[in-house]
Amino acid sequence: MAAPDAFKVSSLKDKVALITGASSGIGAGTTLLFAKLGARLALNGRDVENLSKIARECEECGAVKPLLVPGDLTDEDTVKKTVEETIAHFGKLDVLINSAGILAMGSIETTDMAQYDKVMAVNVRSVYHLTRLCVPHLIKTKGSIVNVSSVNGQRSFPGVLAYCMSKSAIDQFTCCVALELAPKQVRVNSVCPGVIVTEVHKRAGLDEDQYTQFLEKCKLTHALGRPGEVEEVANAIAFLASDAATFITGVNLPVDGGRHAMCPR
């Protein structure tokens, strides 16, 4: 028996998707999944070597050669160039995946203004700017946007103050832009991962022993008793971006093993 027509993740075939943060973690995993689903890809990331590696893996999956638009999205000229080169190359834009982001440790006592500004610039301002420039093109295709937020936007955790604030901003950004663009049939959603096995925590300062202990604690902090895998988040992003989710907008979807629902005692 054939799969129901309602399941249309395969509708990503030949869609043009711009994915940020594509050189590592959730962005890289999403890139590879979209490649397997037949999307045509424009990829942004700061690590050019890793970005090129991911692009080669996409081609090995049978995808059209991705367009690489590397650079730091906190630079306004880079944001403009990213959109301009994507449209010049593909002639349109169907999907925007805002996956670029950083994690930084710190409390109200230890997070100085430089760290606060950096986190907000990467996690919020660059997302706002890139989305703003992409919207006219997404309106033409009645496209979709998926932002990568975090359980930290929905629940409060000490010691990652600026990061939690930035992800709360992305959740509100998602809902507001969804309402603004709904009359033009552009859908806007986010995924809110729990702890996912990537390098982001090590880049934020955890050493190997600390990271091992952190993952072990996930058995208690996540209802499903484990951290998540990149592919599990990528699957949710693909669903929200695809025609399998045509009546879903303004959703901040937890992909966190139940962590958002927990109230430890």
What's the pLDDT score for residue 263?
A: 84
CATH class of the 9-198+229-258 domain in this structure: alpha beta
The predicted-structure confidence for 120-155, as pLDDT tens digits, reads as follows: 999 999 999 999 999 999 999 999 999 999 999 999
Residue 104 has pLDDT above 60, yes or no: yes
Q: Give the 3-state secondary structure of residue 194.
A: coil
The predicted-structure confidence for 169-207, as pLDDT tens digits, reads as follows: 999 999 999 999 999 999 999 999 999 998 888 787 788
Q: What's the DSSP call for residue 160?
A: B
Mean pLDDT (the chain, rounded): 94
Measured CA to CA, the distance from residue 257 to residue 74 in angstroms comes to: 32
What's the pLDDT score for residue 192?
A: 98
Residue 44 has pLDDT above 70, yes or no: yes
Q: Which range has the worst mean pLDDT, 4-13, 69-78, 235-244, 247-256?
A: 4-13
Residue 243 has pLDDT above 80, yes or no: yes
pTM of the predicted protein model: 0.93
Instruction: Judge whether 38 and 14 are in contact, CB under 8 Å.
Output: yes
116 flagged as catalytic: no
Average pLDDT over residues 106-110: 97
Q: Point out the catalytic residue in the list 116, 128, 163, 211.
A: 163
Task: Lay out the sheet containing 252-255: strands in order across.
Answer: 67-68, 40-43, 16-19, 95-98, 144-148, 187-193, 252-255
What's the pLDDT score for residue 99?
A: 98
Measured CA to CA, the distance from residue 161 to residue 111 in angstroms comes to: 8
Name, in order, each residue with C-beta under 8 angstroms of 71's C-beta and a sequence gap of 6 or more. 44, 46, 78, 81, 82
Domain boundaries, the chain: 9-198+229-258
